[in-house]
Structure 1
Amino acid sequence: MRRNIQAVLLLSVAILLLLMGCEGKGRPTKDERDTSPKDISLDNKVVTLTFWRNSGNKAENYAYESLILEFMEKHPNIRIDMMPFPYADYDTKLRTAVATGNPPDIMAIDAPSLASYAQAGALMPLTEHYRTDGNLHDIPTSTMEGYTYRNDIYLAPLTESSIAMFYNIKMFEKAGLSLPSSDPNEAWTWEQVLEAATKINDPDEGVYGIDPAQGFQNAGATAYFKYPIIWQFGGDVMNEEGTSARGALDSPETKQALTFYSELFTKHKVAAFEYPLDAFPNRKLGITIDGTWTLAHIAENYPEFKLGVDFGVAPLPKGTRQAVANGSWALGISAKTEFANEAWTFVNWMTSYEGLMIYSRITGDIPVRYSVAKQFEKLNEYPLNIFVVQNQKYGRPRPITPIFPQMAEAVKDLFEDVTLQQRNVDDAVEEAIIRIDKAYVDSQRLSLQ
């Protein structure tokens, strides 16, 4: 009876995929087929693994359910007991479970949280597993850097999200501007963007030149949208070890980035402190930095605002180099699990070629594996190819540090201080460094107690 139900569910997945029109480009090559993990030998005993994750949207939830169903068909000796939790509660529940010594066998963790879990000894290193049958060659090195702490890999990634520059074609044409290149490797400089924003800007008509980083949001959004600006100018937020902001946040390049950003609002006045709701599709904003999700939002809510006619997409601007933040939710294995090999079998299959083909077909997300991304025509065509190539070639992990929340909050406040409060950049940076470095020292002191 169970197999009949599973067959019906799998058939439903197939029907959904056809309706979504997300067919692959063709059969994978032998090298691509080899990215699926090798099965391990299990005895007849059924092992049950607990798996915690944050509850996502309908497509994400359906993808996980479908993958688990298929995995258990392939591995009848392993049962996956998945427990999704509301996003707002998830991290607190997971940290509590870890602290009380009762964590799940497998857990979903957001990339910026990696270091705190790894430092606490909560995660099993995956380095040797990846070297043996994780097919590391199929994932960008910069992507895996975001899941590595002190030379060990701790998380297995599934997908990426990314941001790019959206621009109003008709505003550009009216201002006599050339359109930006759609080539992911030919980004405009920030100076070119400033020139365009200045010509488009028309405060009397309620038209703004640019929203450079989705306004002033929470610390997480700051990290995703504003750190790339620092990197693009050649600066950084913390040292490579993730122990101090000294020498990085106070570098001339970082201060140049902060100054440029703040002057978009204060000197050039091409950016606003507040924007009307959906200013870009409502034709009140010439340029905005936004993510892949915006394409679906515009198509669903503003169908008359058409890609290629009313707006276009270009790679993120650059200073001295191109850069975009990478890293998303990934799967880790508890250091306390009694079933390490079985847990790796599950995690490796979920993040393999086969698993990611299923996941990406259902969700439409950008897969981390080169081999999977190649199989979807839409990901290799404009505009989605911009997001894909940027992540593969110019992606950078957000600072890998056990004090990421405290650091992110300090950097958020730094951007607000130099822009909203118009504080002296040197003073604001020094204050942020003191906060960040103190947070790290305090965290080490607590870990020794």
Structure 2
Amino acid sequence: MNGNAIGRREFLRSSAILLGGLTVAACADPAAMTGAEPSMEPIELRYHHRLGLECDNHGQWVEKFNEDRAPDVSVTMECFPGADYFKKLNTLIAGGTIGDAFWISSIEGYYRLAAAGASRAIDDLVESSGFDLSDFYALNIEAARLNGELYGLPQLAHPGRVGLFYNVGLFEDAGMDPPNDTWTYDDLLAAAAALTDPDEGVYGFLPCLGYFCLLVYQRSWGGDMLNGDGTVATLDSDESIAALRFVSDMFHEHGVAPLPGTMEQGTYQTFAANKLAMYQSGFWGEYVKNFVEEDAWAVAPMPIGADTGVRGNMFESDPVCVSRASEHPAEMFDCLTYFTTFDAQIGNYNAMGAPSVRPDVMASETLQASALMRVFGGIMAEALPLVLPANFRETEYFKTINEMLQVVWLGESDLDEVIGNVQEAAAEILAKPSLEA
């Protein structure tokens, strides 16, 4: 028997109770005596995002939600310029005017705002709505937890700066096999050296030099920026130093990479002029397609460490969060789930070329038609966790390390002269009080 079915006697008893309740309500409510409907104010919600393709893509799903829930619930998007977004978000939180939900990056304040109480845990909303978290990569959900509680729904994810983008024509002209997923860093260096032509201003490889770019090398060598719980700086380990030395040597020992700031044009323009054979980037590296013919570029994964067999990466995501200030968290959560559907994730890819938070979307015909998504999807399946400072001072940590290593890349100081100071500065940041506001 259907567990939701009721008998005739139970139906009549329930009906009597309902009618009795309506009679009492009619006696108490003048509107009921006149036959007028009680007034119910529609629920109006606000959702913050940064301006750009993501805002546009989310906007269409907000419209769909509003259509589905009209006239009872409506969501208004408030999108702010990317350069000012995080400052604006902090201002809204501090002023008590934050909306009902907001987008945030896992590397730019997600955990700090959760710890500070700006966002609310959503485990109860997931359970009460029956929302299925198994649609996501398991690591994506685990990465969205803080102290065991889930504070956001991932709506975009990627494995970091793990793309090795290469100039098809330069490899063909040199009669060389292109990069593949078996390459080690020795293979990368050998190819870069063979394709470098100083007289013609052609360089074999351009590494990216930010914190998360360098992490790709460190993890390939068995090192890292931090220990597993984000409490100890590990830049001075033998493995981390060896990885950073490899990057430095590409500039100064082997001469296969242009010094920072010396290229006359940007990366894509230099690539299009056939002056750059390979470069490291995240999925956005495919934007070179706006500068070259379709078959002029291709992508492979960054190499594996020869001694470790590890392909350095890290699982980064952009969650959407329900504000703790929201008076209607269930309705807001319902809207946020629209961004994670199969169709919405396909739309996210079509709009931005971004990998999905869902394995079924990454395996879809649409994304598998893209060589870029095949490469990044393979790495997503084996991605390593993102580790950030446990005291939520990631912005200070990133900035300090990046700035102190600049003298190495520019050739103004040797890595051995600098790394001790970098390690000390990083340790001092981790020793500071937790930043939760």
TM-score by length of structure 1 reads 0.78
Report the more deviating stretch, 66-75 or 367-376. Answer: 367-376
Q: CA deviation at 1:240?
A: 2.6
Q: Quick one: structure 1 residues 422 and 127, their matched pair in 2 at CA, closer, same or farther if it must change by over 3 Å? A: farther
The alignment status of 1:46 with 2:42, answered yes or no, reads: yes
Report the more deviating stretch, 364-373 or 353-362. Answer: 353-362
The one-character-per-residue Cα deviations of 1:248-290 (angstroms, maximum 9, x if unpaired) are 2222111111111111111111111122322112101121113
- 1:66 aligned partner: 60
The alignment status of 1:165 with 2:164, answered yes or no, reads: yes
Q: SS in structure 2 opposite 1:442?
A: coil
- 1:244 aligned partner: 232
Q: CA deviation at 1:440?
A: 3.5
Task: Tell me if the contact between 1:142 and 1:397 (Cα under 8 Å) persists in the aligned partners.
Answer: no
Q: CA deviation at 1:398?
A: 5.4
2:147 to 147, 150, 169: 150
2:253 to 267, 282, 286: 267
Identity of aligned residues (%): 24
- 1:293 aligned partner: 284
Instruction: State how far apart, in whole Å, the 1-side matches of 2:219 and 2:345 are.
Output: 30
The one-character-per-residue Cα deviations of 1:91-137 (angstroms, maximum 9, x if unpaired) are 11111121233321101111112122122221112345456744332
Larger relative contact order (CA 8 Å, sep ≥ 6): 1
Report the more deviating stretch, 87-96 or 407-416. Answer: 407-416
- 2:24 aligned partner: none
- 2:366 aligned partner: 377
Say which one has the larger Rg: 2
Structure 1: unaligned runs, 5 residues or longer: 1-42, 217-221
Q: What is the letter of the counterpart of residue 113 of structure 2?
A: Y
Q: CA deviation at 1:395?
A: 5.0
- 1:347 aligned partner: 336
Task: Tell me if the contact between 2:229 and 2:387 (Cα under 8 Å) persists in the aligned partners.
Answer: no
Instruction: State how far apart, in whole Å, the 1-side matches of 2:436 and 2:155 are.
Output: 30
Q: CA deviation at 1:72?
A: 1.5
The alignment status of 1:279 with 2:280, answered yes or no, reads: no
- 2:101 aligned partner: 106
Provide the aligned length of Structure 1 versus Structure 2: 385
- 2:31 aligned partner: none
Cα-Cα RMSD: 2.6
Q: CA deviation at 1:313?
A: 1.5
Instruction: State how far apart, in whole Å, the 2-side matches of 1:254 and 1:71 are.
Output: 48
Q: CA deviation at 1:176?
A: 4.2
Instruction: State how far apart, in whole Å, the 2-side matches of 1:169 and 1:362 are.
Output: 26
Task: Tell me if the contact between 2:223 and 2:237 (Cα under 8 Å) persists in the aligned partners.
Answer: yes
- 1:31 aligned partner: none
Instruction: State how far apart, in whole Å, the 1-side matches of 2:413 and 2:65 are.
Output: 55
- 2:15 aligned partner: none
2:92 to 92, 97, 103: 97
Structure 2: unaligned runs, 5 residues or longer: 1-38
Q: CA deviation at 1:84?
A: 0.7
Q: What is the letter of the counterpart of residue 257 of structure 2?
A: A
Q: Quick one: structure 1 residues 325 and 339, their matched pair in 2 at CA, closer, same or farther if it must change by over 3 Å? A: same
The one-character-per-residue Cα deviations of 1:18-44 (angstroms, maximum 9, x if unpaired) are xxxxxxxxxxxxxxxxxxxxxxxxx96
Instruction: State how far apart, in whole Å, the 2-side matches of 1:314 and 1:334 are.
Output: 40
- 1:190 aligned partner: 185
2:114 to 111, 118, 121: 118
The one-character-per-residue Cα deviations of 1:171-201 (angstroms, maximum 9, x if unpaired) are 33444432222xxxx3411111001111111
The alignment status of 1:365 with 2:361, answered yes or no, reads: no
- 1:207 aligned partner: 202
- 2:302 aligned partner: 316
